[in-house]
Amino acid sequence: MPAVCFYFQVHQPRRIKKYRVFDIGHDEHYFNDSSEADTNNRKIMRKVAEKCYLPTNQVIGELLERHPEFKVSFSISGVALEQMEEYAPDALVSFQNLVKTGRVELLNETYHHSLAYLYSPTEFRKQVRLHRRKIIDLFNYEPEVFRHTELVYNNDLAREISELGFRGILAEGADHILGWRSPNFVYSPSGTSGLKLLLKNYKLSDDIAFRFSSRDWSEWPLSAPKFASWVSALNGSGEVVNLFMDYETFGEHQWADTGIFDFLRSLPTEILQHRDNSFVTVSEALRRFESKGEIDAPHFYSWADTERDLSAWLGNPMQQDAARKVYALEKPILRTKNEALIESWRRLLTSDHLYYMCTKWWNDGDVHKYFSPYESPYDAFISFMNVVTDLELRTREKVNV
């Protein structure tokens, strides 16, 4: 002990192009920017595929071949998968080849990486089914474990996931939820029977995802032997170390010249130097380890920002207004039975659109700005609301509401 559980989130939204008020009623193509801007979805997917997906999958493939004990888990959003099909089929094939090894697990999530559960449980269940269908179609694989968008979680969501038949769910190992307890054990969500919960070890995960290249960090430079020693130090005080992070950490957020690929390439060898260490997928961790007790989370929390709450997406009036307006379209747009309109609406439900409207300052604000393709949160809000207004007009034309 402990077992290391690597879980990687793979996601790319359909970014909305700059959509002016004069475009309302004249342009129904919201995601087709072909300029050099960062709202060009083809350009961004190709860039991320070249910098992250292809080289990192190459390293993961080498590690799977070199170490029979090595295993990883992925959750790949539906909107990322369909963009790989369109713009980066080589990246999709590389993920398919990893899954074929039998030592790579895939998780279920909402197809559109949305916060639909907060506004419409019915739409939430539809998106879970859509994503499951996509995973089966592309990978011939049926997921057993669920991860919600950005690890947003509470007791009610856990009960919903239990009723949908999943064996487990992931969440952030937040201090205010754990109290004195450790994230390095398996738990059970409060109010469920049979469902198990894996919690992110945010300190060790963020050492790789956020601090790896920071020269202001006292532990810089982070080497594989040093990180492996931190994992081995948990022997006797934990059963599973859950390293959850964006896959884009490798090559996209932490560039190749930081040494991140050499670190990843060396890490399994160093972790396996300790004879009690091992690797597990998320479902293996749930099977191998018994629950050490219940986790009670009456309120939503997530893995985003310092607050670990919903404020990354719903923290200011712009975000709240945008969310209310787009989810209010659900019933009329479904009445149209127009697949193109419904798909455009679902693409607007992707949580990233709300994330780009965040107006936080300091470190959290810098992270939001780094990920946003817009010059400001207000530009993101203006384009989004103009598109919603256009979609609303087109819906009215179809159903006369």
Integer Cα distance of 125 and 49 in angstroms: 30
Integer Cα distance of 149 and 107 in angstroms: 12
Per the CB < 8 A criterion, the answer to whether 46 and 87 are in contact is yes
Query: Which residues 6+ apart lie within 8 Å of 243 measured at CB?
Result: 4, 5, 6, 7, 200, 201, 204, 205, 208
Q: How far is CA 280 from CA 10, 127, 202, 286, 289, in A?
A: 19, 28, 18, 9, 11
**Phi, psi dihedrals of residue 246, rounded to the nearest 5°:** -65, 135
Per the CB < 8 A criterion, the answer to whether 190 and 154 are in contact is no
150 is known as an active-site residue: yes
82, 105, 109, 150: the active-site residue? 150
Q: What angle do CA 379, 249, 371 make, to 5 degrees?
A: 5
Integer Cα distance of 392 and 384 in angstroms: 12
Per the CB < 8 A criterion, the answer to whether 95 and 8 are in contact is no
Integer Cα distance of 41 and 12 in angstroms: 9
Number of Cβ atoms within 10 Å of the Cβ of 342 = 16
Alpha helices in 185-316 (DSSP H): 202-209, 224-232, 260-271, 282-288, 311-314
Q: How far is CA 144 from CA 73, 137, 306, 334, 352, in A?
A: 12, 16, 30, 29, 26
Integer Cα distance of 145 and 88 in angstroms: 26
- Would you please indicate which residues are annotated as catalytic (active-site) residues? 150
